[in-house]
Amino acid sequence: MKLQDLEIFVVAPPAPGWGGRYWIFTKLTTACGITGYGECYASTVGPKAMRAVIEDVFERHMQGTSPENIELMYRRVYSSGFTQRPDPTVMGAFAGLEIACWDILGKARNRPVWALLGGKMNDRIRAYTYLYPEPDQDASEFWVNPDWTAEAAAKCVQQGFTAVKFDPAGPYTIRGGHEPAMSDITRSVAFCAKIREAVGDKADLLFGTHGQFTTPGAIRMGQALEPYLPLWYEEPIPPDNLLEFAEVARHVRIPLATGERLTTKTEFGALLRHGGVRILQPALGRVGGIWEAKKIAAIAEIYNAEMAPHLYAGPVEWAANIHLAASIPNLLIAETIQTGGTFHLALIKNSIRFEDGYVIPPDTPGLGIEFDEDLARAHPFTGTGLHLQMQEAPCDYRHGNRFEGGAPSET
């Protein structure tokens, strides 16, 4: 069984576009005709350039190799160009190809991927979702309106969710960490208060920031949120200074979570060694794939840390998350997009089930999904923007901050 062919799909989800501007899927085919699907989350370069990276990684390090040789292929890629260090673009390319290898292996053995990862620890996966506007609501208003988000949170609880995430803390700026505007703190407190009132003790609050603040700014914001007992305070500082998470944790009595922008066990290991973070959020399409995430979960056990796989991508990464989550003992929760996402589910022909706030791991071979190639080809990405982008304007301390939420504008 040797890897022979690669096909890449760059798919633009239709409006409202939850999950980003585009999703990058890989299809690998072996010489004996078994196919597998994966997904790359890395978006540091545009889709055209990313295609070239994926093709280069496959042709240079994987083509002609058995899909069983995950470890060998990983070490080739990690060491490529005399580097042996984390690279989000290259490891993201490999991650999408590696996930497809697991899909092939499961199909070849007629077993679900979780069965190849040590078996099933969890029969169902606790799930959370971001709070999203209704189709008839003004999205730009929704992201800054605590009353609307509280209504959305109450609806999520009715759907079975036991945790909801929101991120009203201010602009996502390229300028690095900044002090939050006082108006950002006031709005963030109002969000927590309204949502806590709406859900009571039926759901945890997950407060996101996307790495916006300086260390003292993160501490100020976190301390203001403490009375509402969020389950986590997500990525309060930029991901390029792992040591400062410990300083935030010393002053804020909310568990810290991070990981969607980190890659490989190297970065997660440093995070755990230096302390502060005990909730890890790897994005499997960036971190290096399923096997690398399994290693991170094992390291996390030593530090009494939990895993909360991240998802702001398409349904193939979602499927990979579910198989990882089913196989590990230190699972906290896994991200979904609503109860699966209309277009997400359509792309995999509704082959993953969401039931009363939980995702049910598939028992069918491989990733357990049926990828709709015709639907993928019918929605090609033709824009110029990246999957997600940060704004160049700085935080506005005088007029307040309004920002895009989870559905970036069409560019």
* Among candidate residues 82, 114, 146, the one where a domain is terminated: 114
Averaged pLDDT, 227-248:
96
On whether both 223 and 301 belong to a single domain, the answer is yes
DSSP 3-state assignment of 237?
coil
23 with 161, same domain?
no
Q: What is the pLDDT of residues 341-365, one digit of tens each?
A: 999 999 999 999 999 999 999 999 9
Residue 401 lies in a domain: no
Residue 410 pLDDT class (50, 70, 90 cuts): low
Q: What CATH number does residue 193 fall under?
A: 3.20.20.120
Same domain, 311 and 208: yes
Report the pLDDT value the prediction gives residue 396, as an integer from 0 to 100: 92
Q: What is the mean pLDDT of residues 324-351?
A: 97
Same domain, 178 and 301: yes
pLDDT tens column, 205-234:
999 998 999 999 999 999 999 999 999 999
- Per-residue pLDDT, 140: 86
pLDDT in tens, 2-33: 999 999 999 999 998 899 999 999 999 999 99
Distance CA 79, CA 25 (A): 24
How many other C-beta atoms lie within 10 A of the C-beta of residue 70?
A: 18
**Same domain flag for 325 and 231:** yes
**pLDDT score for 408:** 56
Report the side by side order of strands in the sheet with 3-11: 3-11, 23-30, 35-40
Q: What is the average per-residue pLDDT within 310-327?
A: 98
In this structure, the answer to whether residues 233 and 244 fall within a common structural domain is yes
> Quick one: 219 and 159 in the same domain?
yes
Q: Which backbone phi and psi does 205 adopt, to 5 degrees? A: -100, 130
**Rounded to whole angstroms, how far apart are CA atoms 245 and 237?**
7
Query: Which candidate, 151, 160, 248, 231, places its Cα nearest to that of 195?
Result: 151
C-alpha to C-alpha distance for 89 and 93, rounded to whole angstroms: 6
Query: Which of these three, 74, 98, 114, is where a domain ends?
Result: 114
Same structural domain, 293 and 154? yes
DSSP one-letter string for 114-169:
HHHTT--S-SSEEEEEE----TTS-HHHHTT-HHHHHHHHHHHHHTT-SEEEE--S
In-domain check, residue 385: no
Q: pLDDT value at position 411?
A: 56
Q: Can you give the pTM of this predicted structure?
A: 0.97
Domain count, the chain: 2
Question: Are residues 315 and 348 located together in one domain of the fold?
Answer: yes
Rounded (10°) angle between helices 215-225 and 182-199? 30
Measure the CA dihedral 111/116/121/123, to 10°. Answer: -20
pLDDT for the residue numbered 409: 57
Q: What domain range includes position 263?
A: 115-366
Whether residue 399 lies inside any domain: the answer is no
Q: How confident is the model at residue 405 (pLDDT cuts 50, 70, 90)?
A: low
